Amino acid sequence: MNPMKLVYECNNEPVVIGDVVHVRNEQYYIQGIVPPHKPSSTGRVWCTEKLGSGRIIEWFPSVVGAHWITLKVNGN
């Protein structure tokens, strides 16, 4: 699979560890990003309610308003 990047649907800016996202009017912090491991996978986003602490919540990227884009590799 070609390399991929997770970006926000609203502006195509990359999703970065530490970003603040809102889900159901609650604030969460991005703690981890897991890319798709096969074409039919969507990958996952790990979040916490507090930056750097708290229980990890795992969501599909669409829950935080994000999607994967495939990066172009030279020669492909």
Q: Is residue 63 part of a domain?
A: yes
Query: How many independent structural domains does the chain possess?
Result: 1
Tell the burial category of 57 from Cβ atoms under 10 Å away from its Cβ (0-12, 13-18, 19+): middle
Q: Is residue 76 part of a domain?
A: no
Angstrom CA distances, 21 to 1, 43, 46, stand at 28, 17, 11
Confidence of residue 32 (pLDDT cuts 50, 70, 90): very high
Average pLDDT over residues 19-45: 93
Q: What is the pLDDT of residue 40?
A: 87
DSSP letter string, 3-53: -EEEEETTT-PBP-TT-EEEETTEEEEEEEEE--SSTT---EEEEESBTTB
Q: Which domain holds residue 44?
A: 4-70
